[in-house]
């Protein structure tokens, strides 16, 4: 979604600003994503400030699991950077290893998240339970969708590499995928303390 | 009361009409003057610079800063409006207000599609209200156990206020957003469920005026109307006395039937 | 037609009908797809208001002729149901804003003209461009489809204020469709910004960009930053409707005698803040492209450079930035803290200043010109006073104290329709006449164009001017039966005036539509640059081949070099070396 497939001309057009189209596009896309999550965080703050009482995140949510997930996501950001480095070094096997690890860690995050959700549902906590759970499920749910999107793009990169390893746009695309993946990671870095620790 | 309305502003019946009507008239006079002057200039340009044989356009620029001249006047006019008109009057109307000790205080509970008013009755205390007591015969959910509520007067779609004394309406909504609007009083305020919003006005004219809902509130939004009666103080006392004679429950029951009739037409 | 240099490179441009006209990645085809689709939605939205206006003019009377054709659930015996009336009202606003005007001004004009004006072979991301369109169309169709789905269409106003929108039927599909449409707009916005910044021809510095391009750039930035909050807000409302959350619902609501079983803790006003945080910039999304179009046409039609290029561009940028901090002037009476109102009062008055500056520059541009009263020029000239009325009447609404009385009355409807209809739509019509030769190589008939112009301009005023009088008399918006309230009776005849004008306006669109269809199929080819215009879109064939320019153009001067002293002609194109 962030970078469209090969366009007929732009690859030959020298970008007026000197920044490649794809990179500029991804940054702009991320700007709109920032607005999206900023809105959600603002909503959270407004609702919480108006609420007569608000449960302590660490008492009702599973902090160990979330900490594990934080570690998983941060590690996946590192492997993503390494995947980009391998692509730059033209180390094909290394790239597959690293992008594969990134994808696996993304899935691991989702699996942990699923356990967390499952436990909540098991105890009868649903988005409709109260405003705290409404915020918790909506924000982590939307973040989860972004993780799925990121995994999807990384899978696409891994598949695309098989035939387009030499494509002039290949390294750029890995970089854009990385930018997006880091963004997903950063959102979690805000969500984790915001929901679990404050 | 039909005579209150024409093609311009309706009859002015509260102290707010002074500043608000002044602003509306002043701005419209200014708008009209600006537009006429501007239109004359516009027409002159079109006529003077229409395409003619043997004359070509002049490409040269005049100083573009000239375009800032109208801007400057607009800015001065707007600053004057903000500083000398809008901020002080807004403060008087919506931020400051009369003290509840000197004013008549009425509770208003809006619902689809009716205005429920609650008066404290002779004891001067409002009965407690709670959602759990709401039923067709008790649309505002008056607590039957609360002694303060025994003498409360409730009316539906009828607001009675005395002349020469400010009225404070403490407004809340049972369901969706409504907006309390009395054109003659020049008052309008949204009523948001979950919030308690106050509004005040001081009538200057006795008579019957119209309450309308100014925020889309559902299928019968246009039918959500009521009447505001402004009485002379003695008439108002008489009305209060007559109401106190009735048990509040009966009033509420009447009100409820009236209300359900109103809704069932739609 | 010369075979463009770029043709062999465009391996993805298929020759089959599907690739060429349906799933095309060519910005010109996508632009025309947007053009025809948004015109369709404009007609649908207009048809809805023509039905609705019957009920306003003659409340409770059966609709003649077509009344019997409508389903019983909408209009039994031809009398509009209040539910259906509210659906028409909500969908009219939604369709006109999100599916009609924005896709026309940005999707159609922006897509077709912007890459040409910057000398680019296509948009920066052609496939993303195609995706925008193919999200917009199904999103729009879903919106229309909601009329026949269980629950009907949304009926809580295009503003969808909670809690009404949450308890009313029909809202879920509206929200889903909005999320799709917003996503389409976001993709488009990214594409437009990157294209404008990165795809410019050699020599085309930012200071040489046509004003239309600037307008599109600012618009795209507004879309990019203002739409995500609405998307988030829509997701939250969707959660309230389908997951039982209560982001916008306080506890203890009793709707229609039933206690609402929700946890509560939410705030109705939160929706309004999030909604208007988008919807105010949206107003400028509607108006900026039109200002751009008018500037292009006026420079061309007066044969002189536009007056105050820098002022106009700076004003547009300033308007764009300011539009993010004026939203709560829609909420002076919403129950928001009245102290906050003063801040938004001041920002609102500030944002009016650059708008006045743009208008002044455009009027001043006429001075010293040699004005041609061509059809596109007539529309652009009409834009100036009519948009002026729209702007002026915003003053008593933006001023807190006078807004107490005028808020949520017909005065508001009159005001924003003067801005959006006699402003934006008039300009878009002018743009259609102006760029039609570019799109099809044929010129629309001038005589019928002028009939269309005069009919349209007069009827539009006939619809919207009476609304100011109604508003001053205190007539509220969105009333199914205005005669149900006494204070509306005296101005009720004006509703008839408005309605009849609306129906006449429709009749005057017929010559326009026929003109378009006839010219496409039967019109004669005109010259490549019939307006003798200087900007780059005229430096290629009309219509341009795939890839647009035979060779990448080079720009030597600013966009509006008309009547330059000592030049041979009264126009010096941007791409011609001196």
Q: How many CB pairs under 8 A join A and C?
A: 154
Q: Which of residues 114-143 of B touch C (CB under 8 A)?
A: 131, 134, 136, 141
Given this model, what pLDDT does residue C316 score?
96
**B146-165: per-residue pLDDT in tens?**
999 888 999 999 999 999 89
Residue C325's SS3 state is helix
Contact C237, C230 (CB under 8 A): no
Interacting residues of C352 by C-beta distance below 8 A, sequence separation 6+: B74, B78, C391, C394, C395, C398
Lowest average pLDDT, out of A57-66, A85-94, C11-20, C186-195, goes to: C11-20
Q: Which residues of C touch A21 (CB under 8 A)?
A: 124-125, 194, 198-199
Q: CB contact, 8 Å: B111 with chain C?
A: yes
Interacting residues of C464 by C-beta distance below 8 A, sequence separation 6+: C413, C414, C417, C418, C421, C422, C498
Total of domains in chain C: 1
Given this model, what pLDDT does residue C20 score?
80
- For residue C235, CA distances in Å to A33, B85, C228 come to 14, 41, 10
Letter string b/e over residues B74-99, b meaning 16 or more CB atoms within 10 A of that residue's CB: bbebbeebbeebbbebbeebbeeebe
Tokens 């629309």 — which residue?
C444
Long-range CB pairs of B62-69 (<8 Å, 24+ gap) are B62/C307, B62/C364, B62/C367, B64/C307, B64/C308, B64/C309, B64/C310, B64/C311, B64/C361, B66/C364, B67/C307, B67/C308, B67/C311, B67/C357, B67/C360, B67/C361, B67/C364, B68/C311, B68/C357, B68/C360
Q: Which of C259, C263, C256 shows the shortest CA–CA distance to C240? A: C263
Q: Which residues of B touch C369 (CB under 8 A)?
A: 49, 57-58
| Cross-chain Cβ contact C477/B214 below 8 Å | yes
The model's confidence at residue A13, banded by pLDDT at 50, 70 and 90, is: low
Q: Which two structure tokens, joined as six digits, stand for C22?
A: 């349906």
Given this model, what pLDDT does residue A9 score?
44
Q: Which two structure tokens, joined as six digits, stand for B241?
A: 């006395």
Q: Which of residues 449-478 of C touch A (CB under 8 A)?
A: none
Q: Chain C: list its partners (3+ Cβ pairs within 8 Å).
A: A, B
List beta partners, residue B114. B111
Q: Which of B96, B122, B101, B79 shows the shortest CA–CA distance to B246? A: B122
* Cis before B239 (ω within 30): no
Tokens 């106003």 — which residue?
C157
Contact C487, B10 (CB under 8 A): yes
Among C408, C490, C491, whose Cβ lies nearest the Cβ of B179?
A: C408
Half-sphere exposure of C229 (CA within 13 A, CB side): 25
Q: Smallest CA–CA separation between A93 and chain C, in Å?
A: 31
**C391-428: per-residue pLDDT in tens?**
999 999 999 999 999 999 999 999 999 999 999 999 99
Q: Which two structure tokens, joined as six digits, stand for C191?
A: 């594409």
The model's confidence at residue B176, banded by pLDDT at 50, 70 and 90, is: very high
Higher-scoring residue by pLDDT: C261, B250? C261
Is C7 inside a domain boundary?
A: no
Interacting residues of C314 by C-beta distance below 8 A, sequence separation 6+: C354
The phi, psi pair for A135, rounded to 5°, reads -65, -45
Among C10, C194, C244, whose Cβ lies nearest the Cβ of A127?
A: C244
Q: Which two structure tokens, joined as six digits, stand for A104?
A: 């696996």
d(C-alpha C290, C-alpha C135), whole Å: 24
Q: CB contact, 8 Å: B216 with chain C?
A: yes
With a cut of 0.85, is the ipTM above it?
Answer: yes
DSSP secondary structure string for all residues of chain A: --SPSPPSSTTTSPPTTSS-HHHHHHHHHHHHHHHHHHHHHHHHHHHHHH-S----HHHHS-HHHHHHHHHHHHHHHHHHHHHHHHHHTT-HHHHHHHHHHHHHHHHHHHHHHHHHHHHHHHTT--TTT-HHHHHHHHHHHHHHHHHHHHHHHHHHHHHHHHHHTT-TTHHHHHHHHHHHHHHHHHHHHHHIIIIII-
Which residue on chain A is closest to C548 by alpha carbon?
Answer: A9
CATH number at residue C470: 1.20.210.10
Look at strands B158-162 and B225-231 and give their pairing. parallel
The phi, psi pair for B227, rounded to 5°, reads -125, 140
Among C304, C310, C371, whose Cβ lies nearest the Cβ of B50?
A: C371
Total of domains in chain A: 1
Given this model, what pLDDT does residue C339 score?
92
Among C10, C25, C245, whose Cβ lies nearest the Cβ of A134?
A: C245
Domain limits for position C179: 24-247+269-539
Q: The domain at B104-264 falls in which architecture?
A: Sandwich (2.60)
Given this model, what pLDDT does residue B222 score?
94
* Cis before C543 (ω within 30): yes
d(C-alpha B250, C-alpha C247), whole Å: 38
3-state SS, chain B, equals CHHHCCCCCCCCCECCHHHHHHHHHHHHHHHHHHHHHHHHHHHHHHHHCECECCECCCCCCCCHHHHHHHHHHHHHHHHHHHHHHHHHHHHHHHHCCCCCCCCEEEEEEEECCEEEEEECCCCCCCCCECHHHCECCECCCECCCCHHHCCCEEEECEEEEECCCCEEEEEEECCCCEEEEEHHHCEEEEECCCCCEEEEECECCCEEEEEEECCCCCCCHHHCEEEEEEECHHHHHHHHHHHHHCCHHHHHHHHHHHHHHHHHCC
Q: Smallest CA–CA separation between B204 and chain C, in Å?
A: 17
Percent over 90 (pLDDT), chain A: 86
| Cross-chain Cβ contact C194/A24 below 8 Å | yes
Among C9, C200, C247, whose Cβ lies nearest the Cβ of A16?
A: C200
Q: Distance from first CA to last CA of chain A, Å, rounded?
A: 34
CATH number at residue A174: 1.20.120.80
The model's confidence at residue B208, banded by pLDDT at 50, 70 and 90, is: very high
Q: Smallest CA–CA separation between C269 and chain A, in Å?
A: 11
The model's confidence at residue A12, banded by pLDDT at 50, 70 and 90, is: low
Work out the average pLDDT over C13-26. Answer: 79
- Tell me what the pLDDT averaged over chain B comes to: 88
Residue A71 confidence (pLDDT) above 70: yes
- Pick from C29, C193, C265 the residue to mutate for testing the A interface (most A CBs within 10 Å): C265
Q: Which residues of C touch B225 (CB under 8 A)?
A: 484-486
Work out the average pLDDT over C551-575. Answer: 90
Is C258 inside a domain boundary?
A: no
Which residue on chain C is closest to A21 by alpha carbon?
Answer: C194
User: Would you call B193 exposed, middle or buried from its count of C-beta atoms within 10 A (0-12, 13-18, 19+)?
Assistant: buried
Q: CB contact, 8 Å: A49 with chain C?
A: no
The alpha-helical segments, DSSP class H, found in C199-267 are 211-242
Given this model, what pLDDT does residue B263 score?
32
Residue C441's SS3 state is coil
Secondary element (H or E) of residue C259: strand C258-259
Residue C124 confidence (pLDDT) above 60: yes
Residue B253 confidence (pLDDT) above 80: no
d(C-alpha A94, C-alpha A101), whole Å: 11
d(C-alpha C253, C-alpha B191), whole Å: 13
* Cis before B153 (ω within 30): no
Residue B256 confidence (pLDDT) above 60: no
Given this model, what pLDDT does residue C569 score?
87
Q: Which of residues 11-40 of C touch A (CB under 8 A)?
A: 11-13, 25
Q: Smallest CA–CA separation between C236 and chain A, in Å?
A: 8
Q: Smallest CA–CA separation between C355 and chain B, in Å?
A: 9
Lowest average pLDDT, out of A16-25, B167-176, C293-302, goes to: A16-25
Look at strands B158-162 and B187-191 and give their pairing. unpaired
Is C547 inside a domain boundary?
A: no
Q: Smallest CA–CA separation between C16 and chain B, in Å?
A: 48
Instruction: Delimit the domains of chain B by residue range.
Output: 9-95, 104-264
Given this model, what pLDDT does residue B214 score?
96
Residue C254's SS3 state is strand
Residue C291's SS3 state is helix
Q: Which of B159, B122, B5, A109 shows the shortest CA–CA distance to C483? A: B5
Letter string b/e over residues C86-97, b meaning 16 or more CB atoms within 10 A of that residue's CB: bbbbbbbbbbbb
Given this model, what pLDDT does residue C15 score?
66
Residue A10 confidence (pLDDT) above 50: no
Work out the average pLDDT over B11-38. Answer: 95
Given this model, what pLDDT does residue B4 score?
86
Tokens 């046509």 — which residue?
C210
Q: CB contact, 8 Å: B72 with chain C?
A: no
**C148-173: per-residue pLDDT in tens?**
998 899 999 999 999 999 999 999 99
Q: Which of C178, C21, C30 shows the shortest CA–CA distance to A4? A: C30
Q: What's the pTM?
A: 0.93
Percent over 70 (pLDDT), chain B: 90
Given this model, what pLDDT does residue A5 score?
43
Given this model, what pLDDT does residue B71 score?
82
- For residue C11, CA distances in Å to A9, A105, C6, C19 come to 10, 38, 10, 12
Q: Which of B105, B168, B164, B175 shows the shortest CA–CA distance to B140? A: B175
**B110-133: per-residue pLDDT in tens?**
999 999 999 998 888 999 999 889
Among C187, C232, C265, whose Cβ lies nearest the Cβ of A36?
A: C232
């Amino acid at each position: 979604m962030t970078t469209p497939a090969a366009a007929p001309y732009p690859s030959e057009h020298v970008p007026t600003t000197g920044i490649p189209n794809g990179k500029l596009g991804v940054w702009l896309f991320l700007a709109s994503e920032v607005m999206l999550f900023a809105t959600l965080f603002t909503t959270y703050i407004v609702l919480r400030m108006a609420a007569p009482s608000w449960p302590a995140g660490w008492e009702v949510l599973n902090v160990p699991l979330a900490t594990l997930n934080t570690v998983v996501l941060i590690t996946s950001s590192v492997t993503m950077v390494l995947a980009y480095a391998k692509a730059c070094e033209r180390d094909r096997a290394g790239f597959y290893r690293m992008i594969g690890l990134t994808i696996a860690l993304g899935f691991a995050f989702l699996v942990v998240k699923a356990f967390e959700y499952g436990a909540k549902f098991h105890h009868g906590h649903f988005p409709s339970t109260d405003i705290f759970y409404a915020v918790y499920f909506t924000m982590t749910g939307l973040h989860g969708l972004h993780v799925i999107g990121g995994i999807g793009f990384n899978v696409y990169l891994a598949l695309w590499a098989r035939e387009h390893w030499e494509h002039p746009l290949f390294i750029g695309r890995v970089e854009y995928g990385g930018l997006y993946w880091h963004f997903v990671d950063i959102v979690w870095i805000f969500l984790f303390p915001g929901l679990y620790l404050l | 009361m039909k005579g209150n309305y024409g093609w311009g502003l309706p009859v002015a019946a509260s102290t707010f009409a002074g500043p608000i009507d002044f602003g509306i008239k002043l701005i419209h006079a200014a708008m009209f003057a600006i537009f006429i002057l501007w239109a004359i200039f516009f027409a002159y340009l079109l006529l003077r610079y229409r395409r003619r044989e043997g004359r070509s356009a002049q490409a040269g620029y005049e100083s573009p800063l000239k375009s800032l001249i109208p801007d400057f006047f607009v800015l001065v006019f707007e600053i004057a409006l903000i500083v000398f008109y809008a901020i002080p009057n807004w403060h008087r109307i919506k931020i400051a207000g009369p003290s509840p000790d000197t004013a008549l205080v009425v509770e208003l509970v809006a619902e689809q599609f009716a205005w429920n008013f609650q008066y404290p009755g002779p004891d001067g205390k409002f009965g407690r209200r709670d959602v759990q007591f709401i039923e067709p015969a008790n649309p505002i959910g008056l607590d039957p156990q609360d002694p303060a509520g025994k003498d409360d007067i409730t009316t539906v779609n009828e607001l009675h206020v005395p002349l020469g004394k400010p009225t404070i309406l403490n407004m809340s909504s049972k369901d969706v957003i409504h907006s309390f609007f009395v054109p003659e009083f020049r008052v309008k305020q949204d009523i948001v469920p979950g919030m308690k919003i106050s509004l005040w006005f001081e009538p200057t004219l006795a008579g019957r005026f119209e309450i309308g809902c100014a925020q889309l509130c559902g299928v019968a939004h246009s039918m959500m109307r009521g009447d505001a009666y402004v009485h002379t103080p003695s008439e108002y006392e008489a009305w209060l006395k007559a109401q106190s004679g009735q048990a509040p429950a009966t009033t509420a029951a009447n009100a409820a039937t009236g209300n359900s009739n109103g809704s069932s037409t739609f | 037609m010369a075979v463009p240099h770029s043709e062999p490179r465009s391996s993805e441009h298929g020759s089959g009908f599907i690739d060429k006209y349906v799933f095309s990645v060519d910005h010109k085809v996508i632009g025309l797809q947007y053009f025809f689709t948004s015109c369709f939605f404009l007609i649908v939205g207009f048809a809805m208001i023509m039905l609705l206006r019957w009920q306003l003019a003659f409340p409770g009377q059966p609709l003649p002729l077509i009344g019997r054709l409508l389903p019983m659930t909408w209009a039994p015996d031809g009398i509009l149901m209040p539910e259906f009336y509210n659906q028409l009202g909500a969908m009219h606003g939604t369709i006109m804003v999100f599916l009609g005007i924005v896709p026309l001004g940005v999707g159609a004009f922006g897509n077709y003209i912007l890459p040409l004006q910057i000398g680019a072979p296509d948009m920066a991301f052609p496939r993303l461009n195609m995706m925008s369109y193919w999200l917009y169309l199904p999103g729009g169709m879903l919106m229309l489809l909601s009329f026949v789905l269980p629950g009907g269409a949304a009926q809580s106003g295009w503003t969808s204020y909670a809690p009404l929108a949450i308890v009313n039927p029909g809202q879920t599909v509206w929200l889903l469709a909005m999320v799709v449409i917003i996503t389409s707009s976001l993709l488009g916005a990214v594409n437009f910004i990157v294209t404008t910044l990165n795809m410019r021809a050699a020599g085309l510095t930012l200071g040489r960009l046509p004003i239309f391009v600037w307008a599109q750039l600012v618009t795209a930035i507004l879309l990019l930053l203002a739409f995500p909050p609405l998307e988030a807000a829509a997701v939250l409302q969707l959660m309230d409707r389908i997951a039982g959350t209560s982001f916008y619902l306080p506890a203890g609501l009793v709707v229609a005698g039933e206690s609402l079983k929700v946890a509560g803790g939410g705030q109705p006003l939160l929706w309004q803040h999030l909604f208007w945080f988008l919807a105010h910039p949206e107003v400028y999304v509607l108006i900026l492209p039109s200002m751009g179009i008018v500037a292009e046409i006026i420079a061309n039609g007066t044969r002189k450079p536009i007056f105050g290029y820098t002022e106009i561009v700076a004003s547009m940028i300033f308007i764009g930035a300011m539009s993010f901090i004026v939203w709560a002037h829609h909420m002076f009476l919403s129950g928001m803290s009245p102290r906050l109102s003063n801040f938004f009062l001041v920002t609102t008055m500030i944002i009016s200043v650059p708008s006045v500056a743009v208008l002044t520059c455009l009027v001043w541009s006429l001075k010293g010109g040699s004005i041609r009263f061509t059809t596109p020029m007539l529309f652009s000239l009409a834009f100036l006073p009519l948009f002026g009325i729209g702007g002026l009447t915003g003053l008593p609404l933006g001023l807190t104290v006078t807004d107490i009385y005028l808020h949520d009355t017909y005065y508001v409807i009159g005001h924003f329709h003067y801005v959006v209809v006699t402003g934006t739509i008039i300009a878009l019509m002018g743009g259609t006449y102006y760029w039609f030769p570019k799109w099809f190589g044929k010129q629309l008939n001038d005589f019928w164009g002028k009939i269309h112009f005069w009919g349209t301009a007069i009827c539009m005023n006939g619809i919207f001017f009476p609304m100011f009088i109604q508003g001053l008399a205190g007539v509220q918006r969105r009333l199914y039966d205005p005669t149900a309230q006494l204070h509306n009776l005296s101005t009720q005849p004006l509703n008839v005036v408005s309605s009849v004008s609306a129906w006449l306006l429709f009749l005057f669109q017929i010559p326009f539509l026929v003109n378009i269809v006839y010219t496409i199929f039967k019109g004669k080819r005109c010259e490549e640059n019939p307006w003798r215009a200087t900007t780059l879109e005229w430096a290629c064939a009309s219509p341009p081949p795939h890839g647009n320019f035979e060779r990448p153009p080079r720009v030597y001067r600013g966009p509006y070099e008309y009547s330059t002293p000592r030049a041979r002609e009264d126009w010096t194109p941007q791409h011609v070396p001196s």
